[in-house]
Amino acid sequence: MFPVARAAQSLVARGIQHTAVRQAHHKHEPNFHDKYGTMVLLGGAAVFSAVWGYVFTRLNIAWGFSPVGRVTPREWRE
């Protein structure tokens, strides 16, 4: 193994070991992400799905592999 790669590998391994030791001696207190992370993620997914579902249902596009010749413009309303 090249000396630079070996040194980089040892630095990464040492950093991981330090992090593991530090976390082992620290009591884990639930933070915002531990308490509400899943609910925020699910809520965001629901809003995302609802908005895009509304957008896709309001568009008058004939869906297919190629829209050439299938998508016709609507008349302009004044």
Flag whether the pTM goes above 0.95: no
Contact 74, 60 (CB under 8 A): yes
Taking only the tens place, the pLDDT of each residue in 31-52 is 888 889 999 999 999 999 999 9
Taking only the tens place, the pLDDT of each residue in 54-75 is 988 887 766 656 666 666 777 8
Domain spanning 1-59, CATH architecture: Irregular (4.10)
User: Where residue 8 falls among pLDDT bands split at 50, 70, 90?
Assistant: confident
Distant-in-sequence, close-in-space partners of 70: CB < 8 Å, separation ≥ 6: 61, 62, 64
Using left for φ > 0, alpha for ψ between -120 and 50, and beta otherwise, residue 18 falls in alpha
CA distance 69 to 67: 6
CA distance 65 to 24: 54
- Rounded mean pLDDT, 12-35: 76
The whole-number pLDDT of residue 14 equals 76
